Chain A
Amino acid sequence: MAIKPNMVFLSGYRLYVAAFFLFLAAPLVAAGVFAFNDSVFPSLPWQGFTLDWFFNDTEPKLGMFHDRRLLRGLYYSFVIASCVSLLSVFVGTCNAFLFVRCKFPAKDFFYIMMVLPLVIPGVILGISILLLASNIANGAEEALSLDLGFLRPGIVLVVLGQFSFITTITSLVIIARLKKFDESMEEAAFNLGASRARVLRTITLPFLFPAMAAAGIVAFLVSFENFNTTLFLVGSEAPLTITMYDRMVKVGSTPVLNAVSFFLMVGSALLALVSVLVQRDKPQT
């Protein structure tokens, strides 16, 4: 307790904090609850509890697990997020060693360059990568009559576009952990005759692993939910957020979207829990 303000002020303050968290929760609850309402519209009145919006296999109440397009979107999202997460953790780990361990000229400048992608609007990242890729593809087609299909909007571009800013996030997470590493542990191992590769494998990487896992999970979630950058790079293999947006704009809101929302919220919550658990330091023995 830093300050001991009077009780009236403190209870008012608590009330404000409670109201704030209510504000945070309200739209999420609204999006989740209607997945269980037995009605074709996601609105009041409450018509009774149902799981149809998850498991029913006939129109008009086609559940999400029988909706081909949603399932395909889920699959593409999963593929994209896995690629982005692996790539960005790899580059993020390299960046962590680069910025924590190495000395090189203009390090501060490069550090700012590394943070920069996080503050560039996602829309602009998306269009700039789209432009470059299309120009290269067009150039290759005209000059060499090569068809570089992977540079056309599609999964590869979506992965690259998301990777371009998610790597900053993973780098920051892993850098923070590597900074806490006590280098005398490595020196002790060297003194005991271990090779460089062995020290890396048995001491440094195990220490970094929780941060790498957490960074991977964050990268996975950010990729899964990304919309702005993906919107410009998407081809025919639309990930889930794009499919949902299409549905929302063209068909209007139906409770199946609530079911997807609920599913995604539960999924993210579980993954988030895992990332908290792996990052928790084991008690020292």
Chain B
Amino acid sequence: MKQNDIKRLSLYLLFAPFALWIALLIILPHAGMLYISLREKVAPRVYEFGLGNYINFFNEPIYWNTLIRTGSMSLLVTVLALLLGFPIAYYIAKIAGYRTRGALFLMCLIPLWVSDLIRAFGWILLLRETGIISSSLQWAGVISTPIEFLYNDATVIVGLVYTVILFMIVPLVSTLDGMDDSMIEAGYNLGGNGPTVLRRIIIPYAMPGIVSGCIVVFMLTAGSYLTPILLGGKNSSWFTEQIYDQFITRYNWESGAAFGFVLLAFTSLVIWIGLKLSGQTLSSTVARS
């Protein structure tokens, strides 16, 4: 009896910080944002309930075009991060020797611990008109006039892939690490060649890691702000920029909140579709530990 009381008391005590954190900083703010997004300003300080802010969003092509553009570029970044990151993760988990493995994994993590801002700043120094690549090419005689590599979509995509690829590699390494080498050997012994083993054994095994990496990468990309702005310049048209614009520049919080929800709903929808297509669930991927 006493033992049970202590158990229950410690459960409550441990649950309290968790509940406070999730309720006050996650659920309540989002509920408040939903409430504000459903308010329409009819006159100064007079509000009416309605879907006006959302209707406004769909009536203005520039808004949903930006959203579609952000979504499709984020998908492209996710695919590129997977294609570029998978071989690296496989190398770290399966091919590298024990010592190099740890070192390579750490090197993968280093950019994670350097601010987004500094990484973007580094890219600017490399790619701008007076930057290192342009001047080196000039010096080597490949080009005669300086080239501006910044402020186009390709640069934004390179910068975003760079920023998020670690979040793809880390879950992949931990999944592939748990894979028994004998499974791969068995595949070869049964007469499979490289591509078959990759397609039939390695990829299905790594699927939870792949999906988990893709979810995190997609969310981070779609929600990123700094990289598209700094590398893409004023007309990078990223959706988070529209949100910032509504909030800070126009001081239109109602419509900014609606935009925030549109982004949240859109990214959740994409992830839901991705989970359905890959036959995974949220708890089998991101929440796996």
Chain A interface (Cβ within 8 Å of chain B)? 1-3, 5, 10, 13, 16-17, 20-21, 23-24, 26-31, 34, 41-45, 90-91, 94-95, 97-98, 102, 104, 108, 110-125, 127-132, 135, 160-161, 163-164, 167, 172, 175-176, 179, 196, 221, 224-225, 227-228, 231-232, 241, 244-245, 248, 253, 257-258, 261, 264-265, 268-269, 271-272, 276
Given known A28-B118, A127-B260, contact A119–B225 (CB-CB < 8 A)? no
- Assuming the contacts A30-B122, A30-B125, A123-B243, asked whether A245 and B113 have C-beta atoms less than 8 A apart, the reply is no
Within the complex, the shortest CB–CB distance from A33 to chain B, in Å, comes to 9
User: With A41-B130, A121-B263 given, is the CB distance from A102 to B287 under 8 Å?
Assistant: no
Residue pairs across A and B with Cβ atoms less than 8 A apart, 22 shown, are A1-B95, A13-B95, A17-B88, A24-B107, A24-B111, A27-B119, A27-B162, A43-B132, A44-B135, A90-B17, A91-B21, A120-B223, A121-B267, A125-B29, A128-B30, A129-B29, A160-B25, A172-B289, A175-B289, A248-B117, A248-B230, A268-B114
Q: Give every chain A residue within 8 A of B215 (Cβ-Cβ).
A: 119
- B80 is an interface residue with CB less than 8 A from chain A: no
Contact A123 B88 (CB under 8 A): no
Known: A3-B184, A123-B223, A160-B25. A97 touches B118 (CB 8 A): no
Contact of B117 among A167, A245, A276 (CB under 8 A): A245
Q: Is the CB of A272 within 8 A of B17?
A: no
A44-B132 CB under 8 A given contacts A114-B18, A121-B222, A248-B121: yes
Query: CB of B63 within 8 A of chain A?
Result: no
- A119 close to B125 (CB less than 8 A): no
State the B residues within 8 Å of A (CB): 6-7, 10-11, 13-15, 17-18, 21-22, 25-26, 28-30, 32-33, 36, 84, 87-88, 91, 94-95, 104, 106-111, 113-126, 128, 130-132, 135-136, 162, 181, 184-185, 188, 194, 197, 215-216, 219-220, 222-226, 230, 240, 243-244, 247-248, 253, 256-257, 260, 263-264, 267, 271, 282-283, 286-287, 289
Query: Which of A31, A91, A119, A179 makes the CB contact (< 8 A) with B121?
Result: A31
Cα A160 to Cα B126 with chains together (Å): 36
Min C-beta distance of B205 to chain A, whole Å: 12
Interface pair A119/B286, CB less than 8 Å apart: yes
Which of B14, B119, B247 has the largest count of A CB atoms less than 10 A from its CB?
A: B14
- Nearest B residue (CB) for A10: B95
CB distance from A155 to the nearest CB of B (A): 16
A49 to chain B, nearest CB (A): 17
Closest 10 CB pairs of A and B: A121-B223, A27-B122, A225-B115, A128-B29, A31-B122, A164-B25, A98-B14, A268-B113, A132-B29, A2-B181
CA distance A172 to B253 in the complex (A): 34
**A6 vs B18: C-alpha distance when bound (angstroms):** 53
A234 to chain B, nearest CB (A): 11
Q: Within the assembled complex, what's the spacing in Å between the Cα atoms of A90 and B17?
A: 9
**Chain A nearest CB, measured from B210 CB (Å):** 16
Query: Contacts A31-B125, A123-B244 hold; do A224 and B223 have CB atoms under 8 A apart?
Result: no
Contact A132–B28 (Cβ < 8 Å): yes
Question: In the docked arrangement, what's the CA distance between A29 and B188, Å?
Answer: 42
Pairwise interchain contact A272-B113, C-beta atoms closer than 8 A: yes
B11 touches A127 (CB 8 A): no
Question: With the chains together, A272 CA to B219 CA distance in Å?
Answer: 25
Known: A124-B243, A269-B110, A272-B110. 10 other contacts (CB 8 A): A24-B108, A24-B110, A27-B120, A31-B119, A41-B130, A44-B135, A104-B11, A112-B287, A117-B25, A127-B256
Q: Closest residue to A24 on the B side, CB-wise? A: B111
